[in-house]
Amino acid sequence: MKLLYAPASPYSAKVRMAATYLNIPFEAVKVDTAAAPAILVDANPLGKIPTWLADDGTAIFDSRAIMQYLHRLSGKALYPRKDEKRTEAEVLEALCDGITDCLLAIVYEKRLRPAEIVHQPYIDRQWTKVERGLSHLEAHMPKLGKSLHGGHFSMAAMLGYLMLRFPGQWENGHVALTEWPEKFRDRFPEFSDLRPAG
């Protein structure tokens, strides 16, 4: 099986970490989405990453669909079995993915627009959402229980992306959050190699 990804992509990092944690073998294939390579667009008409290519040729995308696929492939080992705990994991994943959406929107606004037409009010609205999300996490810090789950990997990817693209801009007032990656690394040493990287 193959995972089409980019090293800086937080959603790619989330999937790579989850598959590694579950001991699901896969080949990580770097792709440049801007170049729209055939291996990507033939599998995913949106040309987005991550895209998972199963052994039978099936293409699975986006990251949450891949996570659910990995859950089934692993014998349902990625999300809690009890309904209440599973809902908690899925809401954590949704929150962290949503924060990541805002972070990517900021990066793209600054990177893809000429400086003279970058819309600062849009960036400010996205950052307000990020701050609210981080404050919520700080006040409701998820526990690292006996097993890691999809929400944990989403949170690790999101914090890894903050560490990569927004160093020094998010840590103030978020003591527990700034300490969380190290605690996560203690449980999942591969975080150092699989987190978003420039």
CA-wise closest residue to 149 among 72, 92, 96:
92
Strand partners, 179: none
Query: Which tens digits make up the pLDDT trace of 14-27?
Result: 999 999 999 999 99
- For the record, the structure tokens of 118 come out as 């970058």
Burial 60-92 (b: 16+ CB within 10 A, else e): bbbbbebbebbbebbeebbbbeeeeebebbbeb
**Per-residue pLDDT, 145:** 87
In tens, the pLDDT along 40-92 reads: 999 999 999 999 999 999 999 999 999 999 999 999 999 999 999 999 999 99
pLDDT at res. 55: 94
Question: Which CATH number applies to 2-73?
Answer: 3.40.30.10
pTM of the model: 0.96
**Domain spans, the chain:** 2-73, 83-194
State the pLDDT at residue 65: 98
Confidence of residue 31 (pLDDT cuts 50, 70, 90): very high
pLDDT attached to residue 196: 98
The whole-number average pLDDT for the span 175-185 is 98
Give the mean pLDDT of the chain.
97
Q: What is the dihedral of CA 196, 53, 76, 24, to 10 degrees?
A: -70
Structure tokens at 89: 């994991």
Please give the share of the chain, as a percent, with pLDDT higher than 70: 100
Q: Residue 157: is its pLDDT beyond 90?
A: yes
Could you say which of 3.40.1190.20, 1.20.1050.10, 3.50.50.60, 1.10.3720.10 is the CATH number of the domain covering 83-194?
1.20.1050.10
CA torsion angle 102 108 114 117 (round to 10): -20
Would you say the CATH fold of 83-194 matches that of 2-73?
no
Supply the angle between the helices 83-112 and 120-139 in degrees, to the nearest 10: 150
pLDDT band at 153 (very low <50, low <70, confident <90, very high): very high
HSE-up of 75 (CA within 13 Å, CB side)?
Answer: 3
The contacts of residue 107 (CB under 8 Å, 6+ apart) are 165
Instruction: Name the 3-class secondary structure at 53.
Output: strand
